[in-house]
Amino acid sequence: MIGIFDSGVGGMTVARAIEQHCPGLPLIYFGDIARTPYGSKSRSTIIDYSRHNTELLLEHGASIIVIACNSAASVATGVLREQYPVPVLDVVGPAVDQAVQVSRSGRIGVIGTRATVRSGIYERSIQAQLPSATVLSQPCPLLVPLVEEGWLSRRETKMILRRYLYPLRLRQIDTLVLGCTHYPLLKHLIGPRIGRRVQLIDSSLAVAQHLHHYLQDHPDLAERVRRSGQQSRFLVSDCTGAIRQLAGKIFGRPIDLETIHV
């Protein structure tokens, strides 16, 4: 199975994108809603949570791990790759690749949680590929709670987004990385507020496309995942009516969310 974890429901955008790009492959998803958001946690706590999530997915039959949380990817990817004997993919690298490819001016904005921005992972990764790039990062700590509450079109969300994006718009970026997998659910609000000429990089789509190519390059692994004989499952560490409604909106169908204790 393809194992996917996130700090909440945002990673479901990754799971949905993987369904579309890798049809027929079973998924095991874990959303750690009880401990969300990860972005405000310390580095050591995020690493501990990421280890636990990985072990949980491996116990449920995962043959490959996708870190669908930018906060976790920014600090824990290397640790997980060293510690576990399965491929570990993350959302940062594919998003960086796309941003560097599409930017015309090299002025690239990044929005993310405090942990992601504090890590500097996007700045280092972008400038490693494009040394002349100017990378402008903006922490947006209020967006994850708003998405988790299902406030996807509320006036308050629009006002907060406008305030977060204004400094980036002033600096005339031409590309904006949505450095959190919750943010694709706000693309319809982000686009008009950052400017129609700014290219939005959706990290959930980027990692799904990367996984598709990775499995093409590793057909034995793809076949092992395909022949696992298991059905896709969606696990969460807590659940509310708003979460179930949001999951259905992301997938376009009712999703059976299994609550497990962590």
Q: Is 181 annotated as a binding residue?
A: yes
Q: Give per-residue burial for 100-123: e unless 16+ CB within 10 Å, then b.
A: beebeebbbbbbbbbbbbbbebbb
CA distances (Å), 246 to each of 149, 234, 242, in order? 9, 13, 6
> Which residues are within 8 A (CB) of 164 and not within 5 positions of it... i.e. 6 or more apart?
111, 138, 140, 143
Q: Is 70 annotated as a binding residue?
A: yes
Q: Match 């972005």 to its residue by tokens.
A: 39
| 23, amino acid identity | P
Q: Is 6 annotated as a binding residue?
A: yes
| 8 A C-beta contact, residue 32 and residue 49 | yes
Q: Is 77 annotated as a binding residue?
A: no
Q: Is 39 annotated as a binding residue?
A: yes
> Which residues are within 8 A (CB) of 226 and not within 5 positions of it... i.e. 6 or more apart?
24, 25
| Cα dihedral 45, 201, 106, 126 sign | positive
Give the whole-angstrom CA distance, residue 167 versus residue 109: 10
Return the active site residues.
Answer: 69, 180
| 8 A C-beta contact, residue 1 and residue 230 | yes
Annotated binding-site residues for substrate read 6-7, 38-39, 70-71, 181-182
Annotated binding-site residues read 6-7, 38-39, 70-71, 181-182
